Amino acid sequence: MAQEDVHLDDAGLALGLSLGGGGGASDAARQGTCSRLSREPRALEPSLTLSMPDEATATGSGGCGGGPSHSVSSLSVAGVKRERVEEADGERASSTAAAARACGAGAEDDDDGSTRKKLRLTKEQSALLEDRFKEHSTLNPKQKVALAKQLNLRPRQVEVWFQNRRARTKLKQTEVDCEFLKRCCESLTEENRRLQRELQELRSLKFAAPPAAASHHFFNPFTHSAAC
């Protein structure tokens, strides 16, 4: 299992930073420098959607039976511009073998364009990708091509893997953040109850207390709470 870079040690300082602020860190990478986050993230709308990673359909349609197998993604209908660019760049689709392997017996013809086969990365490929991801969560084009070559994959596949990997990391971080906020909320609720009780007691003793003694102190849960 991969180690997620989940950092929450500074009592939630990471909170909000990772929530909903996507995009915009790409161009530094494009230019060969890996200084991501050097730029303002877009809009920063707090889209706390928290969709679980697979509430989508699960239409198991029975995979590789005897049907035609396909060369993974390049079968996609004419619309994949990046793919075309990279292919034109001389990157040959080398994952056909992997797809066929993943599909058991290989019939390596192409397709009718209506289905898509799914490549399963080998353990070695996944491990190397994971290693690179630990070093940098983004790749510049040179790194991408080199890594693709090393893995016998297409650059597009490496790119997609990194994209999905970043999404998984972010999802995990969001879950951690939510868990933290939940605990924080519970703690504040408990503290609130305690203070309500305390207030109740003080009111019941108010005949003994001087009239305006305690009126200048407002409790700020965010500065006093042990949880946050």
Residues at the site binding DNA, with contacts judged by CB under 7 A: 20-27, 29-31, 39-40, 42-43, 47, 49, 51, 53-54, 56-64, 72-77, 79-83, 85, 95, 102-103, 115-121, 126, 138-139, 141, 156-157, 159-161, 163-168, 170
Q: Which is nearer to DNA, 22 or 221 (CB)?
A: 22
Contact 167, 159 (CB under 8 A): no
Q: Which is nearer to DNA, 21 or 177 (CB)?
A: 21
Nearer to DNA by Cβ, of 155 and 227: the residue is 155
The residues near 147 (Cβ < 8 Å, ≥ 6 apart) are 128, 129, 132, 139, 158
State the nearest-atom distance from the C-beta of 131 to DNA, in Å.
14
Residue with Cβ nearer DNA (57 or 223) = 57
Q: How far is CA 87 from CA 2, 80, 121, 146, 194, in A?
A: 31, 11, 20, 15, 66
- CB proximity list for 38: less than 8 A, separation 6 or greater: 25, 28
Tokens representing 115 are: 């289905």
Distances in whole angstroms, Cα of residue 105 to Cα of each of 62, 120, 164: 15, 14, 28
CA-to-CA distance for 151 and 141, rounded, in angstroms? 15
Q: Nearest distance from residue 83's CB to DNA, in Å? A: 6
Closest distance to DNA from the beta carbon of 222 (Å): 26
Q: Are 154 and 195 in contact (CB under 8 A)?
A: no
For residue 153, the minimal CB distance to DNA (Å) is 7
- Of the pair 39, 193, the CB lying nearest DNA is at 39
Please measure the distance between the N-terminal and C-terminal CA atoms of the chain and give it in whole angstroms. Answer: 30
| Pick 110 or 190: Cβ nearer DNA | 110
Q: Closest distance between DNA and the C-beta of residue 210, in Å?
A: 55
Question: Which 8-state DSSP code applies to residue 168?
Answer: H
| Least distance to DNA, CB of residue 176, Å | 15
- Alpha carbon 101 to its chain's center: 28
